[in-house]
Structure 1
Amino acid sequence: MVKLTAKCIVAGDSTVGKSSLIQLFRSDGSHFQKNYTMTTTMDVIMKTIPIPETGDSVELFLCDSPGKPMFYEMTEVLWDQPGALCLVFDVTNEASFDNCSRWLQRVKSKTMSPHLPGVLVANKTDLTGRRVVEKIQAEEWAVSHGLEYFETSAKELENYDQPFRSLAKAFHRLYQERVEGFRNLP
């Protein structure tokens, strides 16, 4: 039985729902914040995720980053050597989707590893009448950047845990590949 630890940077523009998704995941869906408070420092939340059929687990340290530019320098110092990445955008805000490229580059600049497990999360899918970023557009962008794609609605408690479970499995898989690589050394 192996217990791994991964620092996961949760990044995206302000008001896309990063904190709501993390809080829901931590509380197993029992806590949705109705009152919005802007994240001004990096909040870190830890949750252990069992990896099915292995007996192993991954302790994810979810680093909830503020989305406002005035807080970038203060929080980027804490981003060094991430083990995973969760990019979040709001399907009703095209700018939040367009800015995912910038967020991705900023996080990737903090790692020396060529393999950074990552997901792109389209949040607020419950707002169907206001949606401006189409699923196919976001899926294609995610695939082109090596990210897995998820659609969620924190408000409706839909799919809020799947991105984080996927990241834990990907991190575990990467660990297993590295161990196998060492075993195969002459």
Structure 2
Amino acid sequence: MGPSLADELDAAMRGETTQRAIMGVVNESYSHPLADEMNHISSSKEMRVSPTMIKRRQFRPIEPPLYPEDPVRDTQKESTLADELSEAENRGNGNFGDSVDLRTPDRIFKVVFVGDSAVGKTCFLHRFCYNRFKPLFNATIGVDFTVKTVQLKGRFIALQLWDTAGQERFRSITKQYFRKADGVILMFDVTSEQSFLNVRNWITSVKAGVDESTVMCLVGNKVDLFGSDATRNTVYKAGRKLAEEYNMPFFETSAFTGQGIEYCMKMMAERLQKREEDHLEEALKLEAMTPVGNGRRSWCCL
């Protein structure tokens, strides 16, 4: 006769209790409680993150990181973004054409470019401001405007460069921008005789809207397109003769190659600065010649 149902249930209960006891011993022998595991990690000296490591992440290295085996890696110089901006602002620039936009200019001069359409005024300005030649430009509509700050004899000068349209329909608009101009650059295309003949008309329009002390210069652009030296000499003599007639300097330039552009703008800036110094000196002389009164005020009787 086999075991009864009560005997089978009793045996099953005894087996389950034994299995639980065995599993408890195994878990106790081979695993740690979660709290002990966390305490073990927090007390481990190798896993701690030092404050120095956290601070170093706030810096951006100036140079790319060196290889780990490089012994100079520990002495690598690090700098914040503010330090780099300050260094860029204080960086010296010995060339006249280098931009120094981070500087506050000591003086601002307004320079207007005039001349027939397609003589290269916009390309000239693009080469001077960005040192690049852009072959395709839409015709200037009305007036365009840009500013470049340059360094000249220890002073920072902002040149307001006004690019005017050369088409006849915009003449009434461009004439308004001649007023209060410190300097005017009259430009013609050395390969276009008509643009050279129209320079006299431009000079007449400019003189009607500027002061007598306004600095003016004549520029023959696109000299890179000359076919022969004989043609260039002929155009140069004609341009220089016209410039001397109106007591202004003459420059040959090329927006394509950059020839003569920086020199032309440097001479313009120097003449503008000299004009300002002459005005200041004249004002000081007039002030010194003014007789000093006895300190009494004169009253007007009405």
Q: Which TM-score applies when normalising by structure 1?
A: 0.91
Can you list the C-alpha shifts for 1:97-148, whole angstroms capped at 9, x where unaligned?
111111111112112x212111111111111118586101101111111211
Which among 245, 255, 271 is matched to residue 154 of structure 1? 255
Higher normalized contact order (CA 8 Å, seq sep 6+, divided by chain length) = 1
Give the corresponding residue for 1:106.
Answer: 205
Which among 190, 197, 221 is matched to residue 91 of structure 1? 190
| Correspondence 1:4 to 2:102 | no
Can you list the C-alpha shifts for 1:56-101, whole angstroms capped at 9, x where unaligned?
2321111100000011112222321211010110011011011111
Deviation, structure 1 residue 160: 1.6
Can you list the C-alpha shifts for 1:150-181, whole angstroms capped at 9, x where unaligned?
10111122112222211111010000001111
Which among 53, 58, 63 is matched to residue 162 of structure 2? 63
Can you list the C-alpha shifts for 1:22-77, whole angstroms capped at 9, x where unaligned?
111111x2x2111131111200111122222xx22321111100000011112222
2:111 and 2:184 in contact (8 A); partners too: yes
Alpha-carbon distance in structure 2 between the residues aligned to 1:57 and 1:116? 20
Distance change (3 Å), C-alpha of 1:161 and 1:105: same
Partner amino acid, structure 2, of 1:182:
A
2:119 and 2:188 in contact (8 A); partners too: yes
Deviation, structure 1 residue 2: 7.5
Give the corresponding residue for 1:141.
Answer: 242
After TM superposition, list the pairs within 5 Å mapping 1:29-44 onto structure 2: 29=131, 31-44=132-145
2:223 and 2:254 in contact (8 A); partners too: yes
Alpha-carbon distance in structure 2 between the residues aligned to 1:104 and 1:4? 26
Alpha-carbon distance in structure 2 between the residues aligned to 1:138 and 1:73? 27
1:10 and 1:64 in contact (8 A); partners too: yes
User: Per residue, is there more helix in 1 or in 2?
Assistant: 2
Partner amino acid, structure 1, of 2:260:
N
Partner amino acid, structure 1, of 2:143:
M
Give the corresponding residue for 1:46.
Answer: 147
Q: Which TM-score applies when normalising by structure 2?
A: 0.57
Which among 142, 166, 173 is matched to residue 267 of structure 2? 166
Give the corresponding residue for 2:116.
Answer: 13
Partner amino acid, structure 2, of 1:85:
V
1:86 and 1:120 in contact (8 A); partners too: yes
Alpha-carbon distance in structure 2 between the residues aligned to 1:96 and 1:76? 18
Deviates more, 1:126-135 or 1:98-107: 126-135
Query: Mind listing any 5+ residue stretches in structure 2 that lack a counterpart?
Result: 1-103, 290-302
Give the corresponding residue for 2:70.
Answer: none
Query: Mind listing any 5+ residue stretches in structure 1 that lack a counterpart?
Result: none
Partner amino acid, structure 2, of 1:129:
G
Partner amino acid, structure 2, of 1:57:
F
Alpha-carbon distance in structure 2 between the residues aligned to 1:57 and 1:119? 22
Give the corresponding residue for 1:75.
Answer: 174
Give the corresponding residue for 1:127.
Answer: 225
1:49 and 1:168 in contact (8 A); partners too: no
2:142 and 2:164 in contact (8 A); partners too: yes
Alpha-carbon distance in structure 2 between the residues aligned to 1:144 and 1:57? 33
User: How many residues get paired?
Assistant: 181
Give the greater-gyration-radius structure (CA). Answer: 2
Partner amino acid, structure 1, of 2:246:
H
